[in-house]
Amino acid sequence: MSDWLVEVGQNKQARTVIRSLGLPVPVPEKLARDKGPWVASPLHDRVVAVGATPHAAFVSEIANSLAAAGANPYLEGAESHRAAFDAAGEAYGRPPRNTADLAEGVRVHALVFDASGIAGAGELRSLYDFFHAHLERLARCGRLVVVGRTEHRASPERALVATALEGFVRSAAKELGRKGATANLVLATGDAGARIDAVLRFVLSPRSAFISGQPFLVNARARDAGANGKPPFVRPLDGKVALVTGAARGIGEATVRALAQEGAHVVCLDRPADDAATSKLAREVGGTPLLVDVTDGSAPARIADALKGLGGAHVVVHNAGITRDKTLARMKPELWDQVIDVNLASVVAITQAIEPELEDGARIVCLSSIAGIAGNVGQTNYAASKAGIIGYVRALAEKFEERGITVNAVAPGFIETRMTAAVPFVVREGGRRMSALGQGGLPIDVAQAIVFFASPGAQGLTGSVLRVCGGSLIGA
C-alpha cells in the first residue's frame, strides 16, 4: 500500500497546481532511503556542520566518527575542538573547514552539536546560537543531531540539561519534518564515549530516515564481549546466526532480508500455515525455515533445539505479533488471550528456553508499538502486550549485562504493511499524517533499526525503546 500523497508530491504537475492555487495540501517529502547493505562510508563527501561548547566531552569521538564515515566537517564555535578535527582530518583526508566558508546557498546534510559541556540552564543558550544560525541551511532529508551527556546521580542543575535537550530535539523534529529531515538526540554517559561512533553513524545515515525526535541512550552497562578494536561496519553480521519470528511477511520479512544482507544466517520462523512464504524467503536469503506456532507448548523447546543445531544464536528478533481489536466492553475472551499469548507470553517462554543457546555479546530485539506507549481505542489487549514488552526488555537488559548481551525494543509507529492496509481510509490517513514527517514508514525502516541494534557497534544501547515513528505526534 503506497502513500498517495507522497506520490502526488513526486508529480511535478501536481506540485505546480498545489503551489499556484495555494492549496493547503501538506505534501510530505519523499524520504531518501538506502536499501542496500552497510557501506564503509555512509556519509561519503557529505557536508556536516559541527558545533560544540568549550567543555564538550565527546568532540574527538565525533570528529573521528564523521571523518571515518566520509563526511566533510565545517566547524563553528570554540577553537578548542579544532585540534580533534585536525587530527581526524589528517587520518582520513577530511580536513575541517569553517562554517563561515560555506557559500550562501550551500545546503548542509547534517548539523551536529556537542552539548555535553552544557552545565546548567544558562548555558543552553549555545544550542540556540548554533542552530538558529544554521537551521535554514539543512538540506531536504537532512539530519539534526544533538550529542549530550548524562550521568546516574547528576545534580539537579545538570539533570535538567539532558531532558531539556530531549524537549529541544522533539520540537526541532516537528519543525524539520516538512522537509523530510530528522532530529535526534544521542545521550551518552561519560564512560561510554567510545560507543557513540556506531550510533552517530546510524543516525546520520539514510538508514534512520523514519526515526525522528528520539533519544538514543548510550551507556557502558553491557560489557564488551570479545570485541577487540573497532566493530566492523561492513557485513557486521558475517558468520552470525539470527532468528526472526513472524518472518513470512511485512516487518519480519524486511528484517530477514536486511539481516541476511549483512551476512547473517537467518532462521525464518512463522506458522506452518505460512509454509510457502517462509520457505521461499529462507531459500532466497540462504537461511533456514522453521515452521512453528509460537504459542504452541512445544515451540520454545523446538526453537532452542534448532538454534543449538546451528551452533548458537547471536541475534533474536521477536517480531511475531497479532492484533485482535475490539473495545474492551465488547471484547470476547479469546481475543484477549490470543493477543497476550502471541505478543507477550510466547516471547517470554521462548526467550527463557533459548537462553543457553545465546552467545556472549548476543542481541535480543523485541517489537513493541506506539500503541503500547500511547494506547489506542480498541487495543487494550494489544497495548497491554506491547507495553509489557517494554518492561520486559528493560529488566531483561539488566539481567544480561554481564554477558554483554543487549536487549532492546523497537516501537514502530504507522508502517505501511498488510496490517495497516486493512484499516479504514480515514483512520489510515490519520495515522499517516499525524507525524512530523507526514507519512507512514516502510517495513524496511523498522528492519534497519533492528539490524542496527543487532550490530556489534550498538553495544552501548541496552534496555532502550526506540520509536520508529517519523516523529509521531502521539505519545512522547
Partner 1 sequence: MSNVKKGRRAVVVAGARTPFVKAFSEYIELDAIALGVLASRALLKKADLAYREVEGIVWGGVILPSAAPNVGREIALDLRLDPGCEAYTVTRACASGLQAITLGAAAIERGEADVLICGGADSTSNAEVKLPQKLVHAFAPLALGKPTPADYLSAAPKLLPVTDLIPRQPRIAERSTGEVMGESAERMARRNEISREAQDAFALRSHQRAAAAIASGRFEDEVFPVQTSGGRWVHTDGLVRADSSLEKLAKLRPAFAREGTLTAGNSSALTDGAAAVLLMSEEKARSLGYRPLAAFASWAYTGVDPADQLLMGPALAMPKALARAGLRLSDIDVVDMHEAFAAQVLSVVKMLASPSFARTRLGLEGAVGEIDPDRLNVHGGSIALGHPFGATGARMVTTMAHELTRTQKRTALLGICAAGGLGAAAVLERVD
Total number of residues binding partner 1 (CB under 8 A)? Answer: 14
Q: Kindly state whether residue 91 participates in binding partner 1, applying the rule CB under 8 A.
A: yes
Strand partners, 415: 441
- Tell me which of 10, 17, 90, 308 binds partner 1, using CB under 8 A: 90
**Region 125-184 residues binding partner 1, contact defined as CB under 8 A:** none
Q: Which amino acid is at 75?
A: L
Which lies closer to partner 1 via its Cβ, residue 89 or residue 142? 89
Which lies closer to partner 1 via its Cβ, residue 97 or residue 433? 97
- Tell me which of 19, 44, 107, 332 binds partner 1, using CB under 8 A: 44
Minimum Å distance from CB 229 to partner 1? 8
Minimum Å distance from CB 63 to partner 1? 10
Strand partners, 468: 412
Check 92, 128, 382, 392 and give the catalytic one.
382
Tell me how many degrees the CA angle 149-152-155 measures, rounded to the nearest 5. Answer: 80
- Give the SS3 label for residue 40: coil
Contact (Cβ atoms closer than 8 angstroms) between residue 456 and residue 232 = yes
| Radius of gyration in angstroms for the set of CA atoms belonging to the chain, rounded to a whole number | 22
Q: Is 382 a catalytic residue?
A: yes
Which lies closer to partner 1 via its Cβ, residue 85 or residue 131? 85
Q: Kindly state whether residue 64 participates in binding partner 1, applying the rule CB under 8 A.
A: yes
Contact (Cβ atoms closer than 8 angstroms) between residue 276 and residue 268 = no
Cα–Cα distance, 49 to 75 (Å, whole number): 6
Q: Which stretch binds partner 1 (CB under 8 A): 91-99, 171-179, 195-203, 236-244?
A: 91-99
Minimum Å distance from CB 209 to partner 1? 22
Residue whose C-alpha cell reads 503551489 in the numeric block: 19
- Give the SS3 label for residue 55: coil
Q: Which stretch binds partner 1 (CB under 8 A): 11-19, 62-70, 167-175, 255-263?
A: 62-70
**Region 347-366 residues binding partner 1, contact defined as CB under 8 A:** none
Grid cell digits, residue 367? 517489537
Q: Kindly state whether residue 80 participates in binding partner 1, applying the rule CB under 8 A.
A: no
Grid cell digits, residue 324? 485482535
Which lies closer to partner 1 via its Cβ, residue 2 or residue 228? 228
Minimum Å distance from CB 300 to partner 1? 44
Q: Kindly state whether residue 102 participates in binding partner 1, applying the rule CB under 8 A.
A: no
- Tell me which of 43, 88, 450, 461 binds partner 1, using CB under 8 A: 88
Cα–Cα distance, 65 to 147 (Å, whole number): 13
Tell me how many degrees the CA angle 443-199-109 measures, rounded to the nearest 5. Answer: 80
Q: Kindly state whether residue 95 participates in binding partner 1, applying the rule CB under 8 A.
A: yes
Q: Kindly state whether residue 59 participates in binding partner 1, applying the rule CB under 8 A.
A: no
Q: What is the DSSP letter of 79?
A: G
Which lies closer to partner 1 via its Cβ, residue 17 or residue 91? 91
What are the distances in angstroms from CA 187 to CA 65, 140, 150?
A: 16, 25, 6
Grid cell digits, residue 12? 511535478
Which lies closer to partner 1 via its Cβ, residue 85 or residue 210? 85
Which lies closer to partner 1 via its Cβ, residue 92 or residue 336? 92
Which lies closer to partner 1 via its Cβ, residue 63 or residue 211? 63
Minimum Å distance from CB 87 to partner 1? 4
Q: What is the DSSP letter of 142?
A: E
Nearest to 48 by CA among 70, 80, 30, 78: 70
Minimum Å distance from CB 400 to partner 1? 31
- Give the SS3 label for residue 392: helix
Q: Kindly state whether residue 92 participates in binding partner 1, applying the rule CB under 8 A.
A: yes
Minimum Å distance from CB 10 to partner 1? 27
Cα–Cα distance, 125 to 131 (Å, whole number): 10
b/e code 309-326 from CB counts within 10 Å (16+ = b) = eeebbbbbbbbbbbbbbe
Torsion on CA atoms 329, 334, 339, 340, rounded to nearest 10:
90
Q: Kindly state whether residue 273 participates in binding partner 1, applying the rule CB under 8 A.
A: no
Grid cell digits, residue 198? 556506531
Q: Kindly state whether residue 62 participates in binding partner 1, applying the rule CB under 8 A.
A: no
Number of H helices, E strands in the chain: 17, 14
Minimum Å distance from CB 42 to partner 1? 12
**Region 23-42 residues binding partner 1, contact defined as CB under 8 A:** 40-41
Contact (Cβ atoms closer than 8 angstroms) between residue 446 and residue 416 = no
Which residues form the catalytic set?
Answer: 382
Residues within the interface to partner 1 (CB under 8 A): 40-41, 44, 64, 68, 70, 87-88, 90-95
